[in-house]
């Protein structure tokens, strides 16, 4: 019989994108401390998300995954959490209307702290520093001290994730997510002149709500209308942290990641024999796998077999991120691989990571038009292949930032400098996010 998976097995595998901590004893002390702390999520919730995702694989639900590229310690506030949560609910209502199925809401929140980088060092003001790898690893400030990996940051990340989850759970059940309230937020957006084309959809949603109220269904009579399921997710990049947060599910006796409901493997860490795949294959949470232009059919076949050997529906979400204009080159070949294997997967579209450019003004940005074009291409390919577009994955915030160009309240190249707050990749702002939801809803209608 094959040896049972152990949460530390990844340590024997080649690792990439992880820090070299200068003091191993300090790392071990933090790991021991994290190992004794309560998990952030309950295994039953991860199982419920898996069951929800199994529906998305069949087209009976639709996945909306979104949030910051990187959460940061300094940007952490109740207002920021509330605003992103609020926009995700608005988007979910619009998507529910478009897809006519329940929308599964998964935040890139309460744990999205570690970042893969294109180079181990970066030049800032003519000086070479170790790259910033996310607040759970090192600091953003350009000093040698801040950029040195510090394991105690894992404890700060745990505490911030716990506080975030506490507030998200309160928002989900405490009346903030009441559907009638969300409806009025959408009406507010479409009052803008530029958003006239979305008004008709917003009015139809309103009509449906009014009909339900007239028929006697209100938030008071239907608890489901006042509460939502909201899940958390992050890239499982920092494996010392993930291993320390791994627990045994008392119901199934199986290992489960306690750091978030869903984990994903990034495009740079999906090596079939690497440490990240080794860790993720052993936990029973739903797993996302980023698929980029360099994902080969053979890689995908091996990864599906490793990550989902039982072919369990809802276990694996393939997050396609090819870039506008490249979807047609790559998505059909990967869809055909999935179909040939008879694999159960959710296909989700990340139209962010293949569309990053440097603007004329020097900022890393993403044109809204490219984001939208990739989404359209994703839907078109699924239509042509007869397969199911199961969800979308966005980097977004509820704040009125100027990080991506375009949209109805057009952000120009020159505007980027005014409110460019991201610690990593450029995010859609609240208005761009909601606009995208309307556009995806249109695609889902066809
Ligand atoms: C991300 O999701 O922030 C990310 C780094 O994505 P990818 O691995 O697809 O590049
Ligand atoms: Mn990113």
> Which ligand 1 atom sits nearest the alpha carbon of residue 268?
8
> If pLDDT is split at 50, 70 and 90, which confidence band does 191 have?
confident
How far, in Å, from the CA of 395 to the mean position of ligand 2?
A: 7
DSSP 8-state assignment for residue 259: S
> What separation in Å is there between the alpha carbon of 426 and the centre of ligand 2?
8
- Atom 3, ligand 1: which residue's CA is nearest? 69
Residue entry with tokens 């294109």: 118
Say if residue 208's pLDDT is above 90: no
Contacts of 207 (CB under 8 A, 6+ apart): none
pLDDT for 331 equals: 98
Q: Find out whether the beta carbon of 108 lies less than 6 Å from any atom of ligand 1.
A: no
Weakest-pLDDT range from 170-179, 341-350, 418-427, 433-442: 170-179
Rounded to the nearest angstrom, the distance between the alpha carbon of 352 and the centre of ligand 1 is: 9
Straight-line distance from the first to the last Cα atom of the chain, in angstroms, rounded to the nearest whole number: 50
SS3 content of the chain, % helix, strand, coil (to 5): 45, 15, 40
Q: What is the 78 CA–ligand 1 centroid distance (Å)?
A: 25
Alpha carbon nearest to ligand 1 atom 1, residue: 69
Could you tell me if the CB of 68 is within 6 A of ligand 1? no
Ligand closest to the CA atom of residue 16: 1
Which of 131, 294, 321, 352 has the most ligand 1 atoms within 8 A of CB, as the residue to mutate? 321
pLDDT for 1 equals 62
Q: Classify the complex by whether its ipTM is higher than 0.90, answering yes or no.
A: yes
Summarised one tens digit per residue, pLDDT across range 127-152 is: 999 999 999 999 999 999 999 999 99
Q: Please say if the pLDDT value at position 291 is more than 70.
A: yes
Could you tell me which residues come within 8 angstroms of residue 424 by beta carbon, excluding any fewer than 6 positions away?
68, 69, 70, 115, 132, 134
Of the candidates 243, 245, 201, 237, the one whose C-alpha atom is nearest the C-alpha of residue 36 is 245
- Nearest atom (ligand 1) to Cα of 292: 9
Q: Which ligand is nearest to the CA of 422?
A: 2
Q: Which two tokens stand for residue 61?
A: 């639900």
């Amino acid at each position: 019989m094959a040896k049972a998976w152990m949460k530390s097995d990844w340590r024997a595998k080649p690792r990439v994108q992880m820090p070299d901590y200068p003091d191993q004893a300090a790392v071990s002390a933090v790991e021991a401390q994290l190992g004794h702390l309560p998990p952030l999520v309950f295994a039953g919730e991860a199982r419920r998300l898996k069951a929800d995702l199994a529906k998305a694989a069949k087209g009976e639900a639709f996945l909306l995954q979104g949030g910051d590229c990187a959460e940061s310690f300094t940007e952490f506030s109740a207002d920021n959490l509330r605003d992103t949560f609020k926009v995700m609910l608005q988007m979910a209502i619009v998507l529910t209307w478009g897809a006519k199925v329940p929308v599964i809401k998964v935040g890139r929140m309460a744990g999205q702290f570690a970042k893969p980088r294109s180079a181990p060092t970066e030049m800032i003001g003519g000086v070479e520093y170790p790259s910033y790898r996310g607040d759970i690893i090192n600091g953003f400030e350009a000093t040698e001290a801040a950029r040195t990996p510090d394991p105690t940051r894992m404890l700060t990340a745990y505490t911030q994730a716990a506080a975030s989850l506490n507030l998200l759970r309160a928002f989900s059940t405490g009346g903030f997510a009441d559907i009638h309230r969300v409806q009025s937020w959408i009406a507010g957006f479409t009052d803008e002149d530029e958003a006239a084309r979305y008004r008709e959809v917003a009015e139809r949603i309103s009509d449906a709500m009014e009909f339900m109220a007239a028929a006697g269904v209100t938030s008071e009579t239907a608890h489901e209308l006042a509460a939502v399921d909201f899940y958390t997710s992050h890239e499982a990049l920092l494996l010392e942290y993930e291993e320390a947060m791994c627990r045994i599910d008392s119901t199934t006796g199986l290992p489960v990641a306690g750091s978030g409901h869903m984990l994903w493997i990034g495009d740079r860490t999906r090596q079939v024999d690497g440490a990240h795949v080794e860790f993720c294959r052993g936990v029973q949470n739903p797993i996302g796998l980023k698929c980029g232009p360099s994902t080969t059919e053979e890689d995908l076949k091996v990864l599906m077999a490793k990550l989902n050997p039982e072919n369990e529906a809802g276990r694996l979400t393939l997050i396609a991120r090819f870039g506008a204009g490249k979807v047609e080159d790559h998505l059909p070949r990967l869809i055909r691989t999935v179909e040939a294997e008879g694999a159960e997967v959710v296909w989700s579209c990340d139209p962010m990571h293949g569309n990053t450019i440097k603007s004329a003004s020097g900022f890393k940005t993403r044109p809204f038009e490219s984001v939208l074009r990739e989404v359209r291409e994703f839907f078109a390919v699924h239509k042509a292949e007869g397969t199911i577009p199961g969800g979308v994955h966005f980097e977004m915030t509820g704040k009125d930032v100027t990080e991506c160009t375009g949209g109805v309240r057009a952000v120009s190249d020159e505007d980027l400098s005014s409110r460019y707050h991201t610690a990593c990749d450029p995010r859609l702002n609240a208005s761009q996010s909601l606009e995208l939801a309307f556009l995806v809803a249109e695609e889902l209608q066809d």
